[in-house]
Amino acid sequence: ELAQVPSEQKAAWEKYTVPEGNDVDSIARSIVHHTTTTLARTPYNMDDFGGYQATAHSVRDKLIQDWNETQQVRYGWYHTIKDPKRVYYLSLEFLLGRAMDNALLARGLKEPYTEATKQLGFKIEDLLEEERDAALGNGGLGRLAACYMDSLATLDYPAWGYGLRYTYGIFQQKIVDGYQNEVPDYWLTYDNPWELPRLDISIEVPFYGHVSKYSDENGRTRHKWEAGEIVQAVAYDVPIPGFDTNNTINIRFWSSKPRKEFDLAYFNSGDYNRAVEDQKKAENITSVLYPNDNHMVGKELRLKQQYFWVCASLHDILRRFKKTDRPWSEFPDQVAIQLNDTHPTLAVPELMRVLVDLEGLEWDEAWNITTRTFGFTNHTVLPEALEKWSVPMLEHLLPRHLQIIFDINLYFLQTVEKSFPNDRDLLATVSIIEESQPQSVRMAFLAVIASHKVNGVAALHSQIIKDTIFAPFIKVLGPDRFTNKTNGITPRRWLHQANPDLSNLIAKKLGSFKFLKELSLLDGLSKYANDAAFQKEWMDIKYKNKVRLTNLIKERTGIEVNPNALFDIQVKRIHEYKRQFMNILGVIHRYAKLKKMNAAQRKEVVPRVVIFGGKAAPGYYIAKLVIKLINSVGEKVNNDKDIGDLLKVVFIPDYNVSVAEVIIPANDISQHISTAGTEASGTSNMKFVLNGGLILGTVDGANIEIYEEIGDDQIFLFGARSEQVEDLRHVQRYRNVPMNPELQAVIHLIENGTFGEPHIFQPLINTITVGKDYYLISVDFGSYLESNDLVDEAFKDKKAWAQKSILCTARMGKFSSDRAIKEYAEDIWNIDVS
Ligand code: GL4
């Protein structure tokens, strides 16, 4: 390991390299050390936050040592025996959540740290609560990237993530008078012990300017891009520990800084203020995460973010490759790059630019290398989410890249033309350039053409992309380019960390914690599903988790709920396609029904707590009205003495990863009720079921595969099928189908002011009135209500419910992100464990 050190000093280095112990004494010593040195505090002025910081630094030390070991020894390039092919996961979003508990559990250090902090006067649970979430993502897409990093580390793959170090993560949501307010998430206020600033690693990223042509020594026409502005990308590394392995991978987050060299033009003209202004502008690039999920906004700053990130990451990857002196043709044997949605697609023209303009390769060879390197994951079919960049904007910001994109398109269309002569329509449909006003670049088409594999994120979704948005490419590129990789979640965070009691019970029953790395072992629980004693242990834990959530609800909303009631949960981004609106309309229906009952009838009712959570994009007016309606209905229902515990409606503010860890283990049932065909996969559905909850859902995304695994006694599916949706929309739109009568009655209650000023909600109601209802709420409402009744019936049989709950967990083996990552590694990346 010390091969680089001159032999005279080697002995000294070895002598002083004393590994830190993992015993309670050593840990306590390191916490005290960090308290007095890193924090410059004393035992006399310590509080929980200081305790957290000192403990975090102690844990960080261990991660850094493992990180070094992994990066330099396990797959360091100067050890010629090991220079494995690596995978680089490019994602604009990583929704990591908290790091400390995860690291302690991964390294098996939770116990000694609990003891050491206890001896120093702390409770570890309180310290863990002091950590702020790393919330550099919007929702499922960003959290998926985090789960995948966990699996890559745990399975010992040589992998790196690349992202942006936003100064502001996803906004914090406050609820004021029932409305969402957004507060900036300035998460780096008190430094971040989970990152390693690498101020020495920096890459220059060019923007703007113009392209000139010249002839090289072989008389070939070459292009040179002279940038108009150069910004510096500085690396911040976040170690990601694998579970029960020392493998510790890296996510490199780039931060924008002004260039070290001062622009001489300003200096000479004496315009100092302007120079400082310009420097500040550089830092703006990585200031803020765009807070939209499944929605594209064509802002230049976002395009700048994308190129800044892609350029820095690619040059970092290329620098690493170049150290090995391999020929370019071997690049795809050493490097796999996964494009997490179209956000990093500029990596395609950037790699082409490097290979052709800078390295002097022929176009065809460069293109061959490029397509063998990239894989592309599509995460949505919603038209408003598909990235299209205006040609003039691209041309202004990245003039050479635009040329390259046009060339890629030209060569591609030529091959299409050859195979399908005279099919002008086909050429127009597969063109990367959309002939809009102005023209725009279809980033998904570019990603498809430039990748050797394109995947969807659940079986239905992967079929839908082949049938709809990418259908013409099946004809042109053949079906083999398209594949499915059903999403997965990490059982380490979503079972072991979020639900330790359940994880311990399972380990006790199965004899070990092996299931955490081999999730299909959970199947061993099935044979106890009917065992009364086990059912009791199981449901006692569920109850405890519900009490934990009850306390959180009380603390965050003031609402008191009964932990014996059925906990019915829908937490996810607020979006029309996810139909939280339908859920709250169903709640109003339930409320109206309860109001009409007599005392004897009410005795038969299953008490229910309907729990919502999730953020709306700040500019998404209708989604924000849904939040307001939920809170208005809650206000009315929760304070109705007639109703009492029979129905409560809760909106938990500021849903995020750490809150999800409390919410999910407490679910009896969760709702995943998107209009069929709109939710590509969903991943919280997997988390809820893994924690012993049933599902109320539509025949959409991963719900379908969950159903195939857990069986129809554990899931309540309803509503239109995806194949029917298009026709149904047409009928709704043009045939004036009257609204479902139960829905009409509910709308009437809103309109007559039962839930406050009705005019507020008019724009929301208008989205489902006759001739509209794009998301088919009226069509599905009847079957939705019926399924809700079935849920109540099922919950009355406690024993049967306990059995269902156990079977849910037992049958979730397929949905581990470990399974998903192994599929990517084998079918797309062609990499082995290191
Ligand atoms: C999403 C999908 O909406 C979601 O269904 C899926 O589970 C997730 C991860 O694949 O990706 N696509 C976008 S955009 N945001 C998402 O959360």
Task: Express each pLDDT in 400-434 by its tens digit.
Answer: 999 999 999 999 999 999 999 999 999 999 999 99
Helix (H, G, I), strand (E, B) or coil at 184: strand
Question: With helix as H, strand as E and coil as C, how does 123-168 read?
Answer: CHHHHHHCCCCEEECCCHHHHHHHHHHHHHHHCCCCEEEEEECCCE
pLDDT value, residue 19: 79
**Within this chain, do residues 142 and 65 fall inside the same structural domain, yes or no?**
no
Residue 827 lies in a domain: no
pLDDT value, residue 273: 84
Ligand 1 centroid–CA 673 distance in Å is 14
pLDDT value, residue 13: 86
**φ, ψ at 239 (rounded to 5°):** -70, 135
pLDDT value, residue 262: 61
pLDDT value, residue 14: 85
Residue 20 lies in a domain: yes
Q: Judge contact between 108 and 244, C-beta under 8 A.
A: yes
Number of residues that this document lists for the chain: 834
| Rg (the chain; Cα; Å) | 28
Shortest CA distance to 181 belongs to which of 587, 553, 616, 578?
Answer: 616
pLDDT value, residue 3: 54
**Within this chain, do residues 580 and 551 fall inside the same structural domain, yes or no?**
yes
**Within this chain, do residues 510 and 567 fall inside the same structural domain, yes or no?**
yes
**Do strands 335-340 and 248-257 pair parallel, antiparallel, or not at all (unpaired)?**
unpaired
Q: Is any atom of ligand 1 closer than 6 Å to the C-beta of 387?
A: no
Residue 829 lies in a domain: no
Q: Is any atom of ligand 1 closer than 6 Å to the C-beta of 378?
A: no
pLDDT value, residue 71: 86
Q: Is 70 exceeded by the pLDDT of residue 375?
A: yes
How does pLDDT run across 163-186, given as a tens digit for each residue? 999 999 999 999 999 999 999 999
Shortest CA distance to 203 belongs to which of 123, 308, 71?
Answer: 308
Q: Is 70 exceeded by the pLDDT of residue 75?
A: no
pLDDT value, residue 748: 98
pLDDT value, residue 191: 86
CATH code of the domain covering residue 203: 3.40.50.2000
Q: Quick one: tokens of 45?
A: 């002025």
Which atom of ligand 1 is the closest one to the Cα of 143?
A: 9
**Within this chain, do residues 226 and 287 fall inside the same structural domain, yes or no?**
yes
Q: What is the mean pLDDT of residues 246-252?
A: 96
H or E element, residue 205: strand 196-207
**Within this chain, do residues 703 and 768 fall inside the same structural domain, yes or no?**
yes
Please, is 292 exposed, middle or buried when counting C-beta atoms within 10 Å of its C-beta (0-12, 13-18, 19+)? middle
Q: Is 90 exceeded by the pLDDT of residue 81?
A: no
**Within this chain, do residues 812 and 777 fall inside the same structural domain, yes or no?**
yes
Token pair 């809170």 is found at 631
pLDDT value, residue 120: 98
Cα distance between residue 341 and residue 465, in whole Å: 13
**Within this chain, do residues 520 and 420 fall inside the same structural domain, yes or no?**
no
Which atom of ligand 1 is the closest one to the Cα of 457?
A: 10
Residue 575 lies in a domain: yes
Chosen domain end from 485, 502, 535 = 485
**Within this chain, do residues 461 and 550 fall inside the same structural domain, yes or no?**
no
Q: Across all residues in the chain, what is the average pLDDT?
A: 96
Looking at the DSSP assignment, which residues form a beta bridge with residue 608? Answer: 566, 647
Residue nearest to atom 7 of ligand 1 (CA): 682
pLDDT value, residue 715: 98
Cα distance between residue 187 and residue 135, in whole Å: 8
Chosen domain end from 453, 485, 517 = 485
**φ, ψ at 306 (rounded to 5°):** -60, -45
Q: Is any atom of ligand 1 closer than 6 Å to the C-beta of 681?
A: yes
Range of the domain at 670: 491-822
Ligand 1 centroid–CA 489 distance in Å is 13
Chosen domain end from 430, 457, 485 = 485
Residue 831 lies in a domain: no
Cα distance between residue 642 and residue 602, in whole Å: 10
Cis before 332? omega within 30: no
Distances (CA, A) of 61 to 19, 57, 580, 651: 11, 6, 44, 39
**Within this chain, do residues 428 and 481 fall inside the same structural domain, yes or no?**
yes
Helix (H, G, I), strand (E, B) or coil at 687: helix
Structural domain count, the chain: 3
> Edge-to-edge strand order for the sheet containing 388-390?
388-390, 440-442, 433-434
How does pLDDT run across 557-590, given as a tens digit for each residue? 999 999 999 999 999 999 999 999 999 999 999 9
**Within this chain, do residues 21 and 113 fall inside the same structural domain, yes or no?**
yes
Cα distance between residue 162 and residue 86, in whole Å: 13
Residue 367 lies in a domain: yes
Q: What is the mean pLDDT of residues 286-312?
A: 98
Residue 496 lies in a domain: yes
**Within this chain, do residues 120 and 137 fall inside the same structural domain, yes or no?**
no
- Label residue 275 by pLDDT band (50, 70, 90): confident
Q: What is the mean pLDDT of residues 643-660?
A: 99
**Within this chain, do residues 323 and 182 fall inside the same structural domain, yes or no?**
yes
pTM: 0.98
How does pLDDT run across 104-147, given as a tens digit for each residue? 999 999 999 999 999 999 999 999 999 999 999 999 999 999 99
Which atom of ligand 1 is the closest one to the Cα of 385?
A: 14
Cite the active site residues: 379, 572-573, 578, 683, 687
The conformation of residue 19, written as its DSSP 8-state character, comes to P
pLDDT value, residue 272: 82
pLDDT value, residue 78: 44
How does pLDDT run across 355-373, given as a tens digit for each residue? 999 999 999 999 999 999 9
Q: Is 50 exceeded by the pLDDT of residue 1?
A: no
Cα distance between residue 660 and residue 654, in whole Å: 10
Cα distance between residue 496 and residue 618, in whole Å: 34
Q: Is 91 left (phi over 0), alpha (psi -120 to 50) or beta?
A: beta
Residue 832 lies in a domain: no
